[in-house]
Every structure is written in C-alpha cells, then in structure tokens.
Amino acid sequence: MNDLTGDSAPRRRWRAAVVTGTAAALAACTVLLLPGTSNAATTLGASAAERGRYFGVAIAGGRLSDTQYTTIANREFNMVTAENEMKLDATEPNQNQFSFSSGDRIVNWAISNGKQVRGHTLAWHSQQPGWMQNMSGTALRNAMLNHVTRVATYYRGKIHSWDVVNEAFADGSSGARRDSNLQRTGNDWIEAAFRAARAADPGAKLCYNDYNTDNWSHAKTQAVYRMVQDFKQRGVPIDCVGFQAHFNSGNPVPNNYHTTLQNFADLGVDVQITELDIEGSGSSQAEQYRGIVQACLAVTRCNGITVWGVRDSDSWRASGTPLLFNGSGQKKAAYDAVLAALNSGQPGPGPSGSPSSSPTGQPGGSCTATYSEGQKWNDRFNGQVTVTGSDNWIVTVTVSPPQRMIATWNVSATWDSSGNVMTGRPNGNGNAFGFTVQHGGNWNWPALACRTA
Ligand code: 9MR
C-alpha cells in the first residue's frame, strides 16, 4: 500500500497495473502507465472533481429523449437532481401508493452514466399531492414521516444527499417559520423528518434546503442558521445546508456570499449550492457566476454546485436566460467563467502533492489504456485513463474493496453487479476519461483492461 502521509517532497509511486479478464476477452489489449499531464480540465464535472467537489445539474425526465440535452448533461456534470420527479406529488400520488417510475428514470440515467444523485425533496409545503394538502394534525405528521421513511428507504444507497426539508422559513424580516400545514403540526416537524430520514438511509447526507438564504445579513438566513446551530447542539441528524441560489436583479448575488457559506460550514455542516441560476446575459452574468464558484471553492466544506437546468430553454424561468448553455446548446460566457474559476481553484485537500504516474505495461496491440494518478484526498483519489490505438474502445476499470468508484467523467460507464468493475465506452468526448475512487484506506491503483468493440 502506498504511504501517502509523511514528508512533503514530491513523490512518484511505481506500481504495475494488473490486467484483468480472460485472455480471449482481452485480446489485443495492453495497459500502459505513463507520466500524467497537468492539462486543465475541459468539463465542469471533471474540474470540480479535481477540487474534491461535484458539479451537478437538474434533469427533467421529459427531456431525456433530447439528444442535445443528454449529450451536454452527460459530458459536463457528475451529479444529478430530479427537477420534479422525486417530489411528494410525484412519489406518493395517493396515500400509501408510491410511484417511483419517473424518479427511477432519472436515477437510472444518472447511475448508468456514472453520476451521483441528490434527492429532492422529502418534505415540503409545496407540490404536495392533493390528499396531503387536505390533511392536518397528527394524521399529517404521520403521513409526512411515512413518506420520508418510504421514499428514503426505496432510494437507500443511491443518494449522495437528500433535501430532507425544503423551504420551511418565511421570506421577509420576520425570521419565522413559513406557515404551512406541516408547520401547524408542531415546530418539531423538521427535526422529526431528519430523524426519519437518517433511520431510513444512514448513508445519505441530510440537508436542509432553502432560497433567499444567500445574504448573511438577511433575517431568513439568520433564522436558518440558528436552526442548524440548534440542531447541531441537540444532536438532530443534519449534515448539510443547501443554498438554492436563484438570482436575478431583485435578488442579486450578495457581496457577503462567501461569509454566509463559511459561517454555516463553521457550524459543522457541509454546504451545497443546490439550484443555481442567475438571470442575465453576457459578461455581467458571467462575473456573477464566477463569484459564486469562487465563493464555494473558498469554503472547504462547500461540496458542490448544481445548476437548475441544462440550457436556458430548459429553465423554469427561461425568459431570464439564467443558465450556462443557450437554447442551441452552446456554451455561454457564463460557462467559460465557471470553468475558468473551477480550473483556477485550489486542488482538493489531501496528503499528496501534484499528480504522479509511472510507466509499465505491454505496448502493442490495437488498444492501449494509459493510467495516470490524479488528485488525492484523505478519503478518495482521482484517476485518469487515456486510450490510444482505437476510437472504438471498451476499457474496464476494476477497483478493489473497500474502494468504490463514486464518479466518472467523459465516459459512458456501466458497472457489474459487484460494483467493483466499471466498463467504460466513448461518450463522444474523446479518448480520455477520469474517475473518482473512494478508497477506504486502500490506495492501490485500479486495474485497467482495454479491448476494442
Ligand atoms: O423547476 C421546477 C419547476 O419545473 C416546477 O414547476 C416548480 C414547481 O414548484 O419547481 C421548480 O423547482 C423548484 C424547486 O423544486 C425548489 N426550489 C425552487 C425551484 C424553482 O421554482
């Protein structure tokens, strides 16, 4: 096992890769390890991953048949939120009759493309099914807890972070809870929802998610802060706070955004930007996006950023052109600013310095997979694979437990039933791809094998 702690001198680790699979399956296959390159990442997900973060997008199930949409989404993002399909009205249209097909479609698309999933949302005053809107008191409290338990249990093991409770605070200067049928069941409804979610899916991070909580001096921000502080002090299971970050001229990006993220993080929770969009255009919009990315990168516990849609035309407020791609699927100035901000951010924290790699393997044959190490962190590392000799490759990447591959980029990925073997094929984004491995203390390099299709 590599010792990645200790002196800070640059280090190069030499390790032969293990070629897996049967001889027949691996005919014309070689593995070669060569020194890594330091080229800047060319997609949002890849760049964020190099910084120990994700870059996500809200996906609308109805658009998954749009090839331009899925091509951009697959290429650029490594985290997915269902825009509407996992909400209460979608998942429990009749009491105790659960419907997961729309949510599953998005979750399966995400997983089959090597992406992780944010769950949105388990308890919310809005988009409640009709039967729930008409409920109150103990019956509603129990129905809400049953919903949290059933949905979080169904998706257990597939969700990176759940928006357990969404938008429970009032706008304006009151700092009060939002009045709703859920609030009227008693002030403890939020913590009850978090406890139920923890019991149902102990592996997911549990988030409180809201909007208009970006400006540190606003009463709503302060009120959410006090709730999270109280939850942490009393041991209510909360792991993260989601900042929706829907900005426009009436709700501009505040100058103190970094302060807000940092102050919440200092409570001992992760912070995530969960629904980012910024109305506008051109350099003005681009600079606001840049500021948001820089603020997140400046906060160690800011895990990732999700934009609320792919193209402007996919947005819930399309006329404000608030996203990173225009209606034709072209990158906007805002995209370039986000990628540049990501690429100029600090690499993720970790015990090792610059990437290193080593040559070995057996050159020759029709297809060569070259591995190089990427960034390393306490809990995970990135790997990069470059394929030469064929544009029609199939590369398997095998991790050894307790390692688990948690993200991929620039590759169409599927997994075997053990979850240890990722089979990657070209996704239209060239012949190099990357992945993140949660190592669980096992620093061994994954084994690579390359064959042609
Ligand atoms: O983008 C979503 C839109 O398609 C729905 O019609 C709307 C219904 O409430 O919800 C939108 O998403 C919201 C998210 O779930 C919570 N934060 C605000 C988002 C924008 O309204």
Atom of ligand 1 nearest to the CA of 127: 9
Element (H, E) at 105: helix 101-112
CATH classification of the domain holding 55 = 3.20.20.80
127 Cα to the center of ligand 1, angstroms: 9
Q: 159 lies in a domain?
A: yes
Residues 418, 269 share a domain: no
Residue 209 sits in the same domain as residue 255: yes
Same-domain status, 443 and 326:
no
Q: Are residues 384 and 279 in the same domain?
A: no
Total domain count for the chain? 2
Domain presence at residue 446: yes
Angle, alpha carbons 244-247-250 (nearest 5°): 130
Number of H helices, E strands in the chain: 11, 18
Which residue is closest in CA terms to ligand 1's atom 3?
Answer: 316
Query: Would you say residue 419 lies in a domain?
Result: yes
* 11 occurs within a structural domain: no
The verdict on 216 and 295 lying in the same domain is: yes
Whether residues 394 and 335 share a domain: the answer is no
Q: How far is the CA of 315 from the centre of ligand 1 (A)?
A: 10
d(CA 241, CA 136): 27
408 and 377 Cβ atoms separated by less than 8 Å: no
Residues 252 and 392 in one domain: no
Alpha-carbon span 436 to 79, nearest angstrom: 13
Residue 140: which domain range?
Answer: 44-344
Please check whether residue 18 lies inside any domain of the structure.
Answer: no
Residues 313 and 419 in one domain: no
Q: In terms of Cα–Cα distance, which of 361, 393, 387, 376 is closest to 444? A: 376
Which residue's alpha carbon is at the smallest distance from atom 1 of ligand 1?
Answer: 316
Ligand 1 lined by 126 (C-beta under 6 Å): yes
Question: Residue type at 325?
Answer: F
Q: Which of 85, 92, 167, 275 is catalytic?
A: 275
Type and span of the H or E element at 223: helix 219-234
Whether the link from the prior residue into 237 is cis, omega within 30° of 0, is: no
Q: Is 5 contained in some domain?
A: no
162 located within any domain: yes
My answer on whether 381 and 427 are in the same domain is yes
CATH of the domain at 379: 2.60.40.290
The last residue of a domain, from among 344, 378, 407: 344
Task: Write the DSSP string, 24-76.
Answer: TTTTT-EEEE-----PPPSSHHHHHHHTT-EEEEEE-GGGTT-HHHHHHHHHH
Residue 275 is among the residues annotated as catalytic for this protein? yes
- The beta-strand segments (E) located in 283-431 are 302-307, 368-376, 380-388, 393-398, 404-409, 412-415, 421-425
Atom number, ligand 1, closest to the C-alpha of residue 315:
1
Shared domain check, 240 and 94:
yes
Residues 6 or more apart whose Cβ sits within 8 Å of residue 325: 72, 310, 311, 312, 331, 332, 335
Model's pTM, two decimal places?
0.73
Pocket test for ligand 1, best of 276, 313, 316, 317 (most atoms within 8 A of CB): 316
Atom of ligand 1 nearest to the CA of 120: 15
Phi-psi region of 167 (alpha: psi -120 to 50; beta: other; left: phi over 0): left
Quick one: 108 and 147 in the same domain? yes
Same-domain pairing of 272 and 133: yes
Residue 247 Cα to ligand 1 midpoint, Å, equals 14
Which amino acid type is present at position 346? Q
Mind listing the pLDDT tens digit of every residue in the chain (453 residues)?
333 233 333 333 323 232 333 333 333 343 443 433 447 999 999 999 999 999 999 999 999 999 999 999 999 999 999 999 999 999 999 999 999 999 999 999 999 999 999 999 999 999 999 999 999 999 999 999 999 999 999 999 999 999 999 999 999 999 999 999 999 999 999 999 999 999 999 999 999 999 999 999 999 999 999 999 999 999 999 999 999 999 999 999 999 999 999 999 999 999 999 999 999 999 999 999 999 999 999 999 999 999 999 999 999 999 999 999 999 999 999 999 999 999 998 776 432 223 333 322 333 358 888 888 887 777 778 899 999 888 988 999 988 888 888 888 888 888 777 778 889 999 888 899 998 888 887 877 888 888 888
Query: Is 83 close to ligand 1, i.e. is its CB under 6 Å away?
Result: yes
The CB of 288 under 6 Å from ligand 1? The reply is no
